[in-house]
């Protein structure tokens, strides 16, 4: 009986004992703020050091990026290291990386500065919904996320996670918690007008900061006991601080977020911890100083040390141990979703792997090569489990099926004396004329050097390697004739051309082509000492041309090669009246370290037998081609040129967000010679040097140079055109 009484007493005591206290559920809220989001890294580092556990993360814009990558298991130290060294100016660039462009698209950089921005289709003119598509950002995110894909539910990550974007149709916040996570991160930071909206989940999504820059309300819906809220939003600027276009655009962004920030903060309770890093000297677009934003985050978190450590003391398990990451990707198969524009086989000719186990960077390189065709608005890709195979699913996105794109350039080349060339080049191009990516183009030029040209470029194989390229043009060009560096006559040439190329591309770096061309030249002397009668020249030509191009930047190259070898034969059998042969080789090599770069150029042109007609003679003179002389001041049957051009990136000027204008200072040494039937009394090498300032402007590369030759000739040059040809 006593045993039963004792047992009853124990059970009664258990029943009446105080319930065990549940450890608090802790949520981390990370706001948007662009480059100011670096402070999130400092806060997370401090939370780890204080052993504060996080049960879930909700993030907006850059807060979603850093929070999402951290929640997926990427060490915070790796995020800090990588984001501090990323080339953000390239990631936010309107232009596709030149190394990824197809060879044909690289040739466009010689002609056009405004490319594929305005288009026509379905009876209407279209301009992009954003300056950039965000493809480079998307690939940066996917390089982290591919190894852990498929990700079907963000709540199944190492730390449950939600990203916040805004439906631009309704203006309401949209919570993203499943699907393509890299695309969700891109949508969350798609700043309106800068990054094109993301069409996902039946919404048209832009930056979450527009609706919920500090997503407290969304975090509260997850029933936390405590929220740690990090706000790196930019405060409204004062009138005196708005001094340029970048300031106006920044203030507009600040206004869009200001009201929802105040509303979100009003939902915080005394239990919640608000961390507001002091980021006075860092604005939303200051990505070049990203690392400087980390320490203010640490300091702000440490200012809340007592409260944060108290949270850590309530949770015995401390910070959740992240599983060890595998940075490799298994690709058993490739599938194309939503096949558009091209033949299905063409996709597989671009997206293939020699090994099953690859790195995320190898995957993104294949995607970059496909994107370099410049026919897709964006290319999405994820790893999915399909029929027991880890399949890379590639989804090309095009907004218009068969657009006509408009391109244009301003051209300026003057020596402030005799050479004064100004013109506008414009074109209309359809790069998707058929499923083999046939392309027609019409080009016009007005100003000094009027002309009109048309061509059709047609790949002949599904891998786009073989091609045929018929073309026709007419151009009227003024030229000057010198003798011993003195101008003695000016001429006008009207040149009609018709030809066809048959060739083969080698990847994106080079091509070999054979061609036939007929040329009719009408040359008239306008003024000066009579040196030629009016000439009518008919030339029929066949040739073999090998070209290569791996330059990173054709305006201010830092690494790579660019050149060509040409063997041409002129003969009456090809439709002309003259017989001679020519050989030409040209190469430019660029090397760099830090802000210093050196471009080394060599050119050798030779007429192999007989005398070339006047239009086929070789010339020297002009910017970086003996800068101390005017353009084309030397003329002969043969020519040679060697040059060394040094340039230093002096500074960057932020005229508009994420598109800094680089300013360069530099100098050059050049030596050149023309010989055989020359316009000189003495066939000797001419040495020249120059000093110059240059800028990579929105209108193109602008150079201002002063040059002098070793025999005392001087020239100044102002040019708005590619100088490295």
For residue 484, count CB atoms less than 10 angstroms from its CB and return exposed for 0-12, middle for 13-18, buried for 19 or more: exposed
CA nearest neighbour of 476 among 455, 499, 454, 452:
452
Pairing state between β 638-656 and 596-609? antiparallel
Give yes or no for a contact between 579 and 616, defined as CB atoms under 8 angstroms apart.
no
Strand runs labelled E in 113-216: 114-121, 124-126, 130-132, 161-167, 173-176, 193-195, 198-200, 203-207
**Residue 701 backbone phi and psi in degrees, to 5:** -75, 125
H helices, E strands: number in the chain: 15, 35
Q: State whether residue 139 is helix, strand or coil.
A: helix
In terms of DSSP H, where are the helices of 119-188?
Answer: 135-145, 181-188
In terms of DSSP H, where are the helices of 19-101?
Answer: 38-49, 62-71, 76-85, 88-91
Pairing state between β 333-336 and 389-397? parallel
Element (H, E) at 611: none
Maximal CA-CA distance, the chain:
138
Catalytic residues: 61, 207
> In this structure, what DSSP letter does residue 105 have?
H
In terms of DSSP H, where are the helices of 230-293?
Answer: 245-265
Give yes or no for a contact between 32 and 213, defined as CB atoms under 8 angstroms apart.
yes
CA nearest neighbour of 251 among 237, 231, 239, 241:
237
Q: How many residues does the chain have?
A: 725
CA nearest neighbour of 547 among 564, 559, 531:
564
Pairing state between β 26-30 and 226-230? parallel
Half-sphere exposure of 517 (CA within 13 A, CB side): 22
Give yes or no for a contact between 253 and 235, defined as CB atoms under 8 angstroms apart.
no
Give Cα separations from 391 to 44, 87, 351, 352, 383 (angstroms): 34, 30, 12, 12, 5
């Amino acid at each position: 009986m006593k045993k039963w009484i004792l047992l009853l007493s124990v059970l009664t005591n258990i029943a009446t004992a105080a319930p065990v206290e549940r450890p608090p559920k802790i949520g981390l809220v990370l706001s948007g703020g662009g480059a100011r989001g670096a402070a999130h890294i400092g806060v997370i580092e401090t939370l780890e050091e204080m052993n504060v556990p996080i049960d879930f993360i909700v993030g907006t814009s850059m807060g979603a990026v850093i929070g999402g990558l951290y929640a997926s298991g990427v060490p915070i130290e790796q995020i800090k290291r990588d984001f501090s060294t990323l080339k953000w100016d390239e990631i936010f660039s309107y232009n596709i990386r030149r190394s990824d462009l197809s060879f044909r698209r690289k040739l466009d950089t010689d002609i056009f500065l405004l490319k594929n921005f305005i288009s026509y289709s379905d009876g209407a003119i279209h301009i992009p919904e954003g300056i950039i598509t965000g493809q480079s950002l998307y690939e940066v995110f996917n390089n982290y996320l591919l190894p852990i894909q498929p990700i079907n539910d963000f709540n199944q990550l190492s730390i449950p996670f939600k990203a916040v974007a805004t439906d631009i149709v309704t203006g309401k916040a949209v919570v993203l918690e499943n699907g393509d996570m890299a695309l969700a991160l891109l949508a969350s930071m798609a700043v309106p007008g800068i990054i094109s909206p993301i069409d996902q989940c039946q919404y048209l999504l832009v930056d979450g900061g527009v609706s919920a820059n500090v997503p407290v309300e969304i975090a509260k819906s997850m029933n936390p006991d405590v929220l740690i809220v990090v706000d790196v939003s930019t405060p409204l600027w004062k009138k005196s601080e708005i001094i340029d276009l970048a300031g106006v655009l920044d203030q507009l962004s600040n206004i869009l977020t200001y009201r929802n920030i105040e509303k979100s903060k009003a939902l915080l309770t005394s239990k919640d911890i608000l961390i507001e890093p002091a980021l006075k000297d860092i604005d939303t677009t200051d990505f070049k100083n990203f690392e400087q934003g980390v320490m203010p985050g640490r300091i702000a978190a440490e200012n809340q040390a007592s409260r944060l450590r108290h949270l850590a003391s309530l949770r015995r398990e401390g910070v959740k141990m992240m599983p060890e990451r595998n940075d490799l990707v298994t690709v058993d198969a490739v599938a194309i979703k939503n096949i558009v524009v091209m033949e299905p086989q063409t996709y597989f000719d671009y997206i293939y792997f020699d090994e099953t186990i690859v790195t995320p960077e190898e995957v993104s390189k294949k995607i970059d090569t496909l994107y370099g065709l410049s026919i897709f608005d964006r290319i999405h890709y994820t790893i999915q489990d399909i029929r027991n195979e880890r399949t890379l699913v590639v989804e090309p996105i095009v907004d218009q099926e068969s657009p006509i794109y408009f391109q244009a350039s301003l051209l300026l080349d003057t020596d402030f004396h005799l050479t004064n060339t100004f013109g506008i080049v414009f074109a209309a191009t359809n790069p998707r004329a058929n499923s083999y990516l046939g392309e027609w183009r019409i080009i016009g030029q007005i100003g000094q050097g009027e002309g009109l040209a048309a061509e059709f470029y047609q790949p002949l194989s599904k891998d786009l390697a073989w091609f045929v390229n018929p073309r026709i043009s007419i151009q009227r060009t003024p030229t000057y004739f010198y003798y011993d560096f003195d101008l003695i006559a000016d001429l006008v040439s009207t040149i009609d051309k018709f030809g066809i190329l048959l060739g083969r591309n080698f990847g994106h770096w080079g091509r070999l082509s054979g061609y036939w061309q007929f040329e009719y030249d009408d040359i008239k002397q306008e003024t000066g000492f009579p040196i030629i009668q009016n000439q009518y020249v008919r030339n029929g030509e066949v040739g073999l041309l090998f070209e290569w191009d791996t330059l990173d930047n054709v305006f201010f190259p830092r690494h790579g090669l660019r050149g060509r070898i040409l063997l041409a034969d002129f003969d009456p059998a090809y439709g002309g009246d003259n017989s001679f042969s020519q050989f030409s080789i040209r190469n430019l090599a660029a090397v760099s370290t830090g802000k210093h770069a050196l471009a080394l150029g060599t050119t050798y042109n030779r007429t192999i037998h007989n005398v070339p007609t006047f239009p086929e003679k070789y010339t020297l003179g002009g910017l970086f081609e003996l800068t101390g002389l005017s353009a084309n001041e030397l003329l002969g049957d043969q020519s040679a040129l060697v040059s060394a051009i040094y340039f230093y990136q002096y500074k960057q000027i932020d005229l508009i967000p994420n598109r800094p204008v680089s300013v360069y200072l530099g100098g050059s040494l050049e030596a050149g010679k023309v010989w055989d039937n020359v316009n000189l009394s003495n066939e000797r090498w001419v040495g020249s040097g120059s000093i110059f300032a240059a800028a990579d402007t929105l209108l193109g590369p602008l150079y201002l140079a002063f040059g002098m030759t070793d025999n005392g000739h001087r020239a100044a040059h102002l040019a708005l055109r590619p100088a490295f040809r």
